[in-house]
Structure 1
Amino acid sequence: MTPRPTRDTPAGRAYNDLRNLARRQGRDVAEYLTMYTLEGFLARLALSTQAGDFVLKGGVLMAAFADRRPTRDIDLLASGFANEIAECEGRVRDIANIPFDDGLTFDRSSVKGEFIRDEADYTGVRVHISATLASAQLGIHVDISFGDPIWPGPTETDLPRLLGGTVQLLGYPDHMVLAEKLVTAIQRGTANTRWRDFVDVYAIAEGRPIAQRDLRKSLATVALHRGASLRPLAQALAGMAEAAQPQWAAWRRRQRLDGTTPEKFQDLLDAVIRFADPALGDEPTSRAWNPQRREWL
């Protein structure tokens, strides 16, 4: 049996602090070790000369808007270089090589890229990289996409870290995060099983004020880029809730979201529709979303 790391090194201290934090919060230690590794890569990116070439999006960014959620990947929108495997691999190696006193050691020789061809609306390169923290062997991947619009542009984002402190880097504005997820929901319709998108919209709406005109402009920008037509979610997802309930319940249980999300998918969907549909109407107003009252005022 491998002995538990001591607190004599930065790696050992971080490992034990993460282990204790996970136990206090009732989470899986491996989950927190992976999230710490993702944060470590982003901390190195923020210090690099490449920081201006990447914009953070996806699951890791949610920690800046609402509760962080488990994920094994970093989603970055890139500009200023080619959508090629070798180019992306080289940039990930360079970022991983930047010194940072967090106990993580990235294995530059483990870097391996592949084209992402999962969905018609998402193309880019996925780069895998391994790391160690004390005795823990860890693996993450960095998904790099190209060409997606951001309106009006990236924002400076303070990303909280698990063990304190923040990482400052460029990120998607909250209304663009919402727009991408809502347009995806419209496009996929009642066959949608991207439960995390619904949860993310719900979480942002629970905690952040949103200007309706900004959300509408972002929705229109994403829809134009994807060749999609905007329509109310109530119409696009009519009849979905009852059929989706068994899958939603199973996914919610696996993700340990009992205390933060509605038990019934119908209740979650109703909350998302109440937030989204006024901005999906024909004439957005100057109203702003009030997260405390959960309405547009």
Structure 2
Amino acid sequence: MYNDLRNLARRDGRDPAEYFTLYGLEGFLVRLAASDLASDFVLKGGVLMAAFAARRPTRDIDLATAGFPNNVTEVEERIRAVIARPADDGLSFESGSLTSEAIRDHAEYTGVRVKVLARLAQARIPLHVDVNFGDPIWPAPTDATIPLLLGGTLRLRGYPDHMVLAEKIVTALDRGEQNTRWRDFVDVVALTSSRYIDYSEQRAAIDVVAHHRQVVLQSLHPLSVTMPELAQRKWEIWRRKQRLHSTTPERFAELFARYLGFAEPVLDRSADGAHWNPSRQVWELDR
């Protein structure tokens, strides 16, 4: 597996360390999916985007909890049980390296961050698993099929696509022109390039997330006037660092225009009764 990953990284023009990390994350998820703890978690974040064929690699795993007490001890016990499971993938997880700490956002306890070291041959692979509490999932988790680096798939419960989009859109509203979560803009454009989205489901998901975060829904159009110029330099640096020249536009204004084309008609309700056509990149009225 070690040499296979090095060869794959060379072919794709990526740093082998990125693929070792992703392989380690996959190994954790393979063990989780095979355990009786799979129903305790819901997948979100970058690994889930791979299920939507929207992107990879990523550096950590984001999970939401489902039905167990939200404290560090409960999370750590479950993670230890998962990494103790055997799998024929060449990975070993060092349970003695595992540490956990509370995640706090503005002094509010929102989850647990677990760090653990995995090994694959001579590669040392530091892994992070963020477990979040209390985030709404509307109407319910869905089954996600995750493609694996070296072939095959795994299945886990994950966020529905409209909830993934809702969280990223509400984040943009909340942060305004100071938003530097470039990956969110890229993810929304990538996801809406391949998925049919129903307006009513998308609007409901945005309403749920905004209510939970206490964010007032409003137009994103004012950002289109100021943000592209303010963001351009930072966008260029991030885009170059992520090696996204072949999949993202050079000008942030172009990316934001595509983002706005999906999000704004949901926010101003002009897409009511419509669905998103990914091939035409427009909201079309249902017939």
Give the TM-score normalised by the residue count of structure 2. 0.96
Aligned length: 284
Counterparts in 2 of 1:20 and 1:87: CA distance versus 1, 3 Å:
same
Residue 233 of structure 1 pairs with residue 217 of structure 2: no
Residue 287 of structure 1 pairs with residue 274 of structure 2: yes
Specify which of 164, 188, 204 is matched with residue 177 of structure 1. 164
Counterparts in 2 of 1:216 and 1:68: CA distance versus 1, 3 Å:
same
Q: Secondary structure at the match of 1:207?
A: coil
1:231-284, CA deviations, whole angstroms, 9 ceiling, x for partnerless residues?
122135541110110000010000000000110000000000001111111454
Stretch of structure 1 that moved more, 113-122 or 224-233 = 113-122
Identity in percent: 57
Q: Secondary structure at the match of 1:44?
A: helix
1:188-234, CA deviations, whole angstroms, 9 ceiling, x for partnerless residues?
00010111111110110111111111111100010011111111221
Partner of residue 22, structure 2: 35
Compute the displacement of 1:121 (Å): 7.8
Aligned partners of 1:45 and 1:95 also within 8 Å = yes
Measured in 2, the distance between the counterparts of 1:167 and 1:155 equals 14
Q: Secondary structure at the match of 2:116?
A: strand
Specify which of 175, 194, 197 is matched with residue 188 of structure 1. 175
Gaps of 5+ in 1: 1-13
Partner of residue 9, structure 1: none
Tell me which amino acid in the other structure corresponds to 1:153: A
Measured in 2, the distance between the counterparts of 1:256 and 1:118 equals 30
Measured in 1, the distance between the counterparts of 2:7 and 2:34 equals 28
Specify which of 147, 152, 156 is matched with residue 134 of structure 2. 147
Q: Secondary structure at the match of 2:280?
A: coil
Counterparts in 2 of 1:282 and 1:120: CA distance versus 1, 3 Å:
farther
Tell me which amino acid in the other structure corresponds to 2:68: F
Measured in 1, the distance between the counterparts of 2:132 and 2:156 equals 17
Aligned partners of 2:219 and 2:268 also within 8 Å = yes
Give the TM-score normalised by the residue count of structure 1. 0.92
Q: CA RMSD in A?
A: 1.4
Residue 224 of structure 1 pairs with residue 211 of structure 2: yes
Residue 53 of structure 1 pairs with residue 29 of structure 2: no
Partner of residue 274, structure 1: 261
Measured in 2, the distance between the counterparts of 1:73 and 1:22 equals 18
Specify which of 222, 233, 236 is matched with residue 249 of structure 1. 236
